[in-house]
Amino acid sequence: MIKSVVLPSKALKFQVGKVEGPRQLRCKGPKMELTLTQPDDWHLHLRDGDMLEAVVCHSASHFGRAIVMPNLKPPITTTAAAVAYRESILKALPANINFTPLMTLYLTDTTSTEEIKFARRSGVVFAVKFYPAGATTNSQDGVTDIFGKCLPVLEEMAEQNMPLLVHGEVTNPDVDVFDREKVFIETVLQPLVQRLPQLRVVMEHITTKDAVRFVESCKEGSVAATVTPQHLLLNRNSLFQGGLQPHNYCLPVLKREIHRQAIVAAVTSGSKRFFLGTDSAPHERQRKECSCGCAGIYNAPVALSLYAKVFDEAGALDKLEAFTSFNGPDFYGLPRNTSKIKMIRTPWKEKRYHR
């Protein structure tokens, strides 16, 4: 049973469909049509088994490609496992949908430099994911010694031009949960970038003004960030309004309004350093609505509409296409998609997705 982020009744829905022809923005009274280059999702959880089959079509119907997270049970730690997982995703796709999964490896203390070379040669693996051990869902096999055991692998990644995707939170229980991103930047990420300036890094699902400042302070093209719809639309009050809201719980956790505003300003500024990454994370409903609910927001069916809503309200629809469709492939050194989608703004009442 899967549930997406729930939209307020006054939200606007941008209906999505594929079209041919040049990019355009047309207004007809209250109706508006927006044509964009096919977007990609640069941070996506598809899970496996029955869950994979249930959710993959929601992402594939909107996005041309997606960076697929490797935190399965067991995690995707080898190129061979990534190839097999990719085949499972392709088999689960509806026959009429063209969607390319871009695979990642799960970094551990025992990942080898030879595995990184093999991954680069495969043409299937496009990045390596750094989960601090215990930071989030299925991260128990993650990294415990990034500057010791993992340093040779990071050096090889820099040599192979393989990006490192970072879940940017410390796991020290003495650090307040709302400060874990800021402390991670200060104690891990900034020293890492200084030590290996040639390593390309994506700080994923940023949640704070501190992350915005850090990304903007780095050399363009070397450090970038993905941004989720929930961190653009919600602040930490959304966890508690009207009672505890488990479907608004994700990691990194939602932050203060001042941080949300900083992230909105960054992504709507037109900066090339920020791009779309939904972090859509499906869970069975009973695992969310329980005494110890798991982290993750399933937003795939509505993510693209939510991004458009944010840019529309900021008066920055002219910058939406770069965020959704250009900045990601440009950072990864991949060609931009050539197909187009059309979005139509219409009133939208609250919708819930269950399984």
Give yes or no for a contact between 194 and 241, defined as CB atoms under 8 angstroms apart.
no
> Which among 205, 247, 283, 340 is annotated as catalytic?
205
- Given the structure tokens 């750094």, which residue do they identify? 130
**Is 167 noted as a catalytic residue in this protein?**
yes
Q: Within 10 A of 65 (CB to CB), how many other CB atoms are there? A: 24
**Is 62 noted as a catalytic residue in this protein?**
no
> Which among 13, 58, 62, 167 is annotated as catalytic?
167
Sign of CA dihedral 266, 267, 268, 270: positive
Give yes or no for a contact between 21 and 318, defined as CB atoms under 8 angstroms apart.
no
> Which among 13, 45, 182, 340 is annotated as catalytic?
45
- Residue 12 forms beta bridges with which residues? 347
Cα separation, 191 vs 127, in Å, equals 20
Note every long-range contact of 154-157, with CB atoms under 8 Å and residues 24 or more positions apart, other chains counting. 154/192, 154/196, 154/199, 155/113, 155/196, 156/113, 156/116, 156/117, 157/116, 157/128, 157/199
Angle CA(114)–CA(86)–CA(352) in degrees, nearest 5?
A: 130
> Which among 13, 62, 129, 259 is annotated as catalytic?
129
Q: Which residues of 133-156 are buried (b: 16+ CB within 10 A; e: fewer)?
A: eebbbbbebbbeebeeebeebbbb
Q: At what angle do helices 151-160 and 113-122 cross, to 10 degrees?
A: 30
What is the DSSP code (8-state) at residue 168? -
Q: Where are the alpha helices (DSSP H) in the chain?
A: 49-60, 79-92, 113-122, 151-160, 180-184, 190-195, 209-217, 229-233, 257-267, 285-288, 303-313, 320-321, 327-332
> Which among 41, 141, 210, 279 is annotated as catalytic?
279
Cα separation, 4 vs 329, in Å, equals 26
Quick one: which of 237, 249, 184, 173 has its CA closest to 211?
A: 184
Q: Which residues are catalytic?
A: 43, 45, 129, 167, 205, 279
